[in-house]
Amino acid sequence: MALTPAQKRIMTSLHDLSGAVTGDSDPYATILDTPSPSMNFTFDNTWGLPDGYAVLMGGGPKGGKTILLSSIIGRMHRVDPDAVAIKFNTELREKVQVTPQQKKLWGIDSDRYIAYEVREPASIFDRIETEVPRLVQAGVKLRLVAIDSVNDILGRRTMNSESVNDQQIADKAATLQDGFSRIKEVLRNNGVSLIMTTQVRTEMDQLEQRRGHKVKLAVSWYLKHLAEYFMFVEKYENKDGRTDMSGNAYEDNEVRDVQGDADTSAHKVRVTMLDSSLGRAGRVGLFTLDHEKGIINTHEEVFLLGTGFGVLVKDGAYYEFDGKRYHGKENTLIALRDDADVYSKVLAACKGKDLARRA
């Protein structure tokens, strides 16, 4: 039944109230992505983190979470010359983790990046709640707030206790819930994305262990409700993670230890989208992290995506794409590595085929 003129006027007045959603804009129009094509693929129908939304990256010690965060910030700075990022390093390692050399490696612009080594909740949540609106109103294009990691934010009662013997049950969970609930609307309304890292703890549920889940993200339930994406980051320890797809070992033969073994120059990192509110869960990305060059060999990721999506069509010993034929995997990899046009077209075709589902 059609609305009467009076009913239409009432509906129009409701749309004028704050918080009304018209659905006219594309929430995925602008995203934060990474230098890794396969990691972008794990976000499913966005191929990146939409502005104003949140991702929680968890993983074991030295798994690559902080480095991955730096790569995302650097990628944002290279793609968007006006974008600004704020980071709270609660692990108090900013001075040694994000050195001038690391900023140069990842492309982080010091003029558009500010980091704080703080653990007190007020120094994190109050600053975000106060400074984000102030920066946006001043015309600063703040696109990202990062917290590395949420586990080292102090609980309010713990911070004020006189002894470690004073037990503060549920203190941290309550502190994080109150803090994140205060900044959620501020970030969302201003289109500022949130990236959080978290440590892991042993999975004690025997049923989950039998399913192969040995660890779980060490966060309270509220953070699991807060973030739209849950990603697991880990060093890829399998045998094929020690070489590239052409069989070349990740070794620096100019440096050898007392046993004659070469230094490891790179390793692979695997990312798994554990769950998502905005897309399919379970997608896996795999990229190579060189200790001096950053993320390398992305042409290998494009090759795997291209064959997986059927964009690179295998015909006997050949791979076909865009009217061209490449003999064997090695020659196809070389073409993707050396020809930027082929690389970009194969990647665009994969992404276009995936995002066509949303359209």
Structural domains in the chain (count): 2
pLDDT in tens, 322-331: 999 999 999 9
Look at 108 and 356; give whichever has higher pLDDT.
108
The reply to whether 251 and 348 lie within a common domain is: no
The reply to whether 314 and 303 lie within a common domain is: yes
The reply to whether 168 and 269 lie within a common domain is: yes
DSSP 8-state code for residue 109: -
Quick count: other Cβ atoms within 10 Å of Cβ 31?
16
The reply to whether 305 and 289 lie within a common domain is: no
The reply to whether 292 and 325 lie within a common domain is: no
Domain range for 337: 297-359
How confident is the prediction for the chain on average, in pLDDT? 91
Read off the pTM.
0.90
Mean pLDDT (whole number) for 128-148: 97
Q: Report, in angstroms and rounded to the nearest whole number, the Rg of the chain calculated over CA atoms.
A: 23
The reply to whether 213 and 338 lie within a common domain is: no
Mean pLDDT (whole number) for 136-148: 97
On whether residue 1 sits in a domain, the answer given is no
Judge whether residue 205 has pLDDT over 80.
no
CB 233 within 8 A of CB 269: yes
pLDDT in tens, 305-315: 999 999 999 99
Instruction: Give the chain's length.
Output: 359
Tell which residue, 178, 176, 169, has the closest CA to residue 154.
176
pLDDT in tens, 230-274: 999 999 989 888 899 999 999 888 888 888 788 888 999 999 999
On whether residue 313 sits in a domain, the answer given is yes
The reply to whether 301 and 288 lie within a common domain is: no
Q: What is the rounded CA–CA span in Å between residue 156 and residue 161?
A: 9
CB 222 within 8 A of CB 81: no
Q: How much is the pLDDT for 257?
A: 83
CATH number for the domain harbouring residue 356:
3.30.250.10
CB 198 within 8 A of CB 232: no
CATH number for the domain harbouring residue 133:
3.40.50.300
The reply to whether 269 and 170 lie within a common domain is: yes
Judge whether residue 22 has pLDDT over 80.
no
Q: Which of 20-24, 152-156, 192-196 has the highest mean pLDDT?
A: 192-196
Q: How much is the pLDDT for 210?
A: 81
pLDDT in tens, 32-89: 999 999 999 999 988 999 999 999 999 988 888 999 999 999 999 999 999 999 999 9
CB 205 within 8 A of CB 212: no
Coil vs helix vs strand at 96: helix
On whether residue 3 sits in a domain, the answer given is no
Question: Cβ contacts of residue 119 below 8 Å, gap of 6+?
Answer: 90, 92, 152, 153, 154
Q: How much is the pLDDT for 87?
A: 98
| Kind of pairing between the strands at 318-321 and 324-327 | antiparallel
Tell which residue, 145, 28, 31, has the closest CA to residue 79.
31
Q: How much is the pLDDT for 359?
A: 67
